[in-house]
Structure 1
Amino acid sequence: MVILFIVLSSIEAFLFLWVAINPLWLPSLHRYTNRSYKKKTVSVLVPLRNESKNVPGLIATLRNVKYDELEFILLDDQSSDDTKSLLMEHTCRDSRFTIIEGKHLPEGWNGKVHACHHLSKYSNNEVMFFIDADVRIEPNTIHHTLALMENQYASMVSGFPTYLDNKLVQFLVTMQHFVIHLHLPLFFANYTKRQATTAACGQFIAINRTTYNKIGGHEAIYNSLVEDVELGRLVKKHGDRVILANITKLVSCFMYGTIQEAWEGFTKNIFIGIGRSKIGAIGLSIFYALFYISPLLLAVYAVFNLQWMFLLPLVLTVLQKGIVDIRTRTSPFYSLGMPLSAAMLIGVLWTSMYKAITGKAYVWKGRSYQ
């Protein structure tokens, strides 16, 4: 038991140092405020499918955006709720907004990818911002993003928003930030052209029009369920730079309303995101079970046997999640549930792998994907 404790504590301490150091190469979007950059024309493009609950908040945040050369193009992707009528109601008397209707989804296309492709055809501006309907941006987000792109010579900028408090769902949703901080070597992601270390988040992507056209746009990844990462890889493949930034002070998101929605949403992405590798899925499951669930069992042993030193591995796992939560404007309360978050992550991964192996379809927003 003592040997297990020493080994586990040593590895946990190393992982804590890693998640503390790795973000040194993750630029903070809000810090880029150079006002002397060349002003560019901007299009903010938003696909919406059955997003009636998000329309009022989305339009309110977009109306407050401070930028002169700006247009908003919103696509109603064949919604069966009140999305379209709400869009018309909330955007009236503001000439910056254009509402378009989505087309029938061609066979083999991912729904969101097709919507973004359709949106891109309506924009002729120099920079396109693709955001989701549940995203809220601060008024100066455009300025900061363009300053970062110019300062870092980047053709594409993306990042994971801060996820607004939604109780149980938050234990799973905020693991997105933790996975990036733990598993992605951010120096290689942001300062090399290595496609294998590319990360992006489709909730917020800014990309130069010339680069987008050069890589073939969303049409080049028409059937991808991880289109954000694939788009970034294409940008790197064509010799341009992709920056993953900490955008949490400027961009927030109401990602999922229920644990069922979160489970379905992550199920369609997670196994595909690791290249459909069964060995990778098993390896990750063992890793999270050993280093993020077993410390809880050791802590239980410590309490019942009054051997308090055995609490150290659990403390270190909580500190790992806590430091990421603080950086990403998440309540540190959720770091206390790190074993639960790890168990949920494993559960989603195995659900995703099971569906892929058995040929069951991934279902999202009323559409099925293999």
Structure 2
Amino acid sequence: MTLETLALIALCLALLPLALTVLNLPFFRRAPARARTGALISVLIPARDEAANIEAAVRSVLADRKTPLEVVVLDDHSTDGTPDIVRRLSAEDPRVRLETAPPLPGGWSGKQHACHALSRRARGDILLFMDADVRLEPGAPGRFAACFTDPRLHLVSGFPREETETLGERLIIPLIHVLLLGYLPMFFARMFRRTAAFAAGCGQLMAVRREAYDATGGHGAPSVKASMHDGVTLPRAFRRAGFATGVVEASDLARCRMYEGFAATWDGFSKNATEGMATPVGLPVWTVLLAGGHILPWLLIPAGLIAGSAAVAWMGLAGGLATLAQRAVLAIRARQDWRAVPWHPVGIAVLLALQWVALVRSWRGHRPTWRGRTVARGEDAA
């Protein structure tokens, strides 16, 4: 393969996510501006050692005074002051209720078991699952419920505005949108709403119709219960059962600081890596797509200059600028930190390193821990 051919391939790989992002943007819509105020919405928050987060999370929900809602917090055997905080909030507002998680059985991951238990204690027709580090804007629950005015939809997942305050966070977290909009054809996902291959979601914020949730088994479904990545596995379970799912751009409805610092970000993304990119079949393909399209163009600029090939250098520059253009578009649309954009190729390199480390460690039998628990594997599920 000549250097010119390699540069042409790299340019095509760089233009692919930019083109797909542009095509996807009209389908990555925000929730309806007018809230739905009829059905009771159960906002369900699993909480394990969330004393630093839980009060702000609950109060952000309670700011919605127009929507019929309840807030159910499941204390999942916390060792800090999480339940005491929720009891105080419940005394202030009758819409808040504290529940206690039953013991974690074998074959379940902690979060999926907590969400399953929450669903059994909820009273609403619409269940809005929300992580404790998410902060809703006033009116957000009603606007999520309004998505279900489309009778074909049974699960809607929102992608909040991700707050990143350190370089380590900025390197990796914004890449969620790069992968979502750059490699998932949303026009196909909307056209074929019941095709599991096009399922996508964000576990931080998911709303479901209760009847569909119960029919699929919800977080207790075999493909979900041991998972650490319900943002993918739950929509897939819905689609396999014949229920349509969708995503919304929720940066105007919610915000979240997912992790604090590089170490926490690495650990957080590593825990579910083998359920996403880090598979023996998938990761080599992702490596070609991401390294070839987002890193290689920058390397071809000096390579072309050294080889005396202006064509190679120009194709490398065009490919590099294409990847930065995609990041700039996403920074505007998803309200991302602009300081992350110039670091994009470094972030891709770190992400791929993270995925390969996770895959190799899984081959060696390593099972990550999260919040003091060993992460279950899918084959452990009963």
The TM-score with structure 1 as length reference comes to 0.92
> Structure 1 pair 5/367, CA: closer, same or farther in 2 (3 Å)?
same
Q: Percent identity?
A: 27
Determine the structure 2 residue equivalent to 1:237: 240
Query: Residue 351 of structure 1 corresponds to which residue in structure 2?
Result: 357
Q: Cα distance, 1:231 vs. partner?
A: 1.6
Q: CA deviation at 1:175?
A: 0.7
Distance of 2:246 and 2:112 partners within structure 1: 21
Q: Quick one: which amino acid aligns to residue 206 of structure 2? A: I
| Counterpart in the other structure of 1:189 | 189
Which consecutive segments of 4 or more residues in structure 1 shift more than 6 A?
302-308
Once the two structures are superposed, residues 123-168 of structure 1 have per-residue CA deviations (whole angstroms, 9 ceiling, x without a partner) of 1211010000000111111222122221363111002211012222
Structure 1 residues 14 and 105, CA gap change in structure 2 (3 angstroms): closer
Give the Cα separation in 1 of the matches to 2:107 and 2:67: 38
The equivalent position to 2:287 in structure 1, one of 281, 285, 288, is 285
- After superposition, the C-alpha distances for 1:13-67 in whole angstroms (9 at most, x for unaligned) are 34322211123222222xx1346x5711110000011111112321331221233
Gaps of 5+ in 1: none
Instruction: Name 1:273's counterpart in structure 2.
Output: 276
Q: Give the alignment partner of residue 246 of structure 1, picking from 245, 249, 253.
A: 249
Unaligned runs of 5+ in 2: 378-382
**Counterpart in the other structure of 2:299:** 297
Deviation at 1:91, TM superposition (A): 4.1
Q: Secondary structure at the match of 1:125?
A: coil
- For residues 347 and 357 of structure 2, the distance between their equivalents in structure 1, rounded to whole angstroms, comes to 15
Q: Which residue of 1 aligns with 2:342?
A: 336
C-alpha deviation, 1:325, in angstroms: 2.1
Any conservation in 2 of the 1:171–1:341 contact (CA below 8 Å)? yes
Alignment of 1:67-106 (within 5 A): 67-106=66-105
Other structure's SS at 1:245 match: strand
Deviation of residue 104 (structure 1)? 1.4
Cα distance in structure 2, aligned partners of 1:7 and 1:234: 36
Give the deviation of 1:311 after TM superposition: 2.7
- Equivalent position to 2:368, from 347, 353, 362: 362
The code of the aligned residue for 2:339 comes to F
Residue of structure 1 equivalent to 2:380: none
Question: Where do 1:15-54 residues align within 5 Å?
Answer: 15-29=17-31, 32-34=32-34, 39-54=38-53
> Aligned pair count?
366
1:320 equivalenced with 2:323 (yes/no): no
Please state whether the residue corresponding to 1:136 is helix, strand or coil. strand
CA–CA separation in structure 2 for the residues paired with 1:244 and 1:148: 10
Relative to the length of structure 2, the TM-score reads 0.89
CA displacement at 1:316 relative to structure 2: 1.4
Report the AA paired with residue 195 of structure 1.
Answer: A
Displacement of 1:361 in angstroms is 0.8
Aligned equivalents of 1:2, 1:286: Cα separation in 2:
17
Shift of 1:247: 1.1
Contact 1:355–1:362 (Cα < 8 Å) also in 2: no
Cα 1:62/1:340, change in 2 over 3 Å: same
| Aligned CA-pair RMSD | 2.2
